[in-house]
Structure 1
């Protein structure tokens, strides 16, 4: 039996890829995109010590809102999924994980 049109090109994702690896990539990218809010919250916590729970509520709320916006965005998920699939394909071709490929780039002297 032939697959429905359009599904043959859609790569299969394992459960761990859909539910763990892609969301992990989303969290990392969202932290970069919300870096100002991350820095503000971190600074507040460092300055407040034990009172950070009380004093940093505003910064924490702003950070959560920023991150949640990305986590709940289907387009952002698709963007991360495409990037993940590209990295997975490169790994399958080269056998070298993306982090090691980035570290071993030749340097010009």
Structure 2
């Protein structure tokens, strides 16, 4: 049998051990490195969720009320509220401490998932 080149695993898996190792086969719980999809998609989603609640609750409420009142005319009638919300969210995304907070929170949740095998939303319903 030919030697395998470029693999860092001893078994027949195709994923590196940092992604498929750990007690539940979902990755090493102690690995704190971020993959590209986590950096560019998962963490920004977390930032958006948290920013709407922590940084811009008034803007979200104002935009929601305007949208509810205007119905199909919302894109035209709620431009001021939409611009205000967009500006607030953009300032939150540029705050380095907020970005770091969201990154650390994401990494902690990922570590817990890799350690237990239970997703955050499943854990809330199980408890």
TM-score over 0.5 for the alignment?
A: yes
| 1:91 aligned residue (113, 116, 126) | 113
Shift of 1:10: 8.2
Task: Give the 5 Å matches for 1:1-109.
Answer: 11-33=32-54, 34-105=56-127
Distance 1:10 1:63 in 2: 35
Shift of 1:43: 1.1
Residues matched between the structures, number = 97
Shift of 1:22: 0.7
Shift of 1:49: 2.7
Distance 2:31 2:110 in 1: 14
Stretches of structure 1 that go unaligned for 5 or more consecutive residues are 1-8
Shift of 1:100: 0.8
What SS class does the counterpart of residue 96 from structure 1 fall into?
A: coil
Distance 1:10 1:87 in 2: 12
Query: TM-score when scaled to structure 2?
Result: 0.69
Q: Which runs of 4+ in 1 moved over 4 A?
A: none
What SS class does the counterpart of residue 118 from structure 2 fall into?
A: coil
Query: TM-score when scaled to structure 1?
Result: 0.79
What SS class does the counterpart of residue 98 from structure 2 fall into?
A: helix
Aligned to 1:4: none
Distance 1:10 1:95 in 2: 15
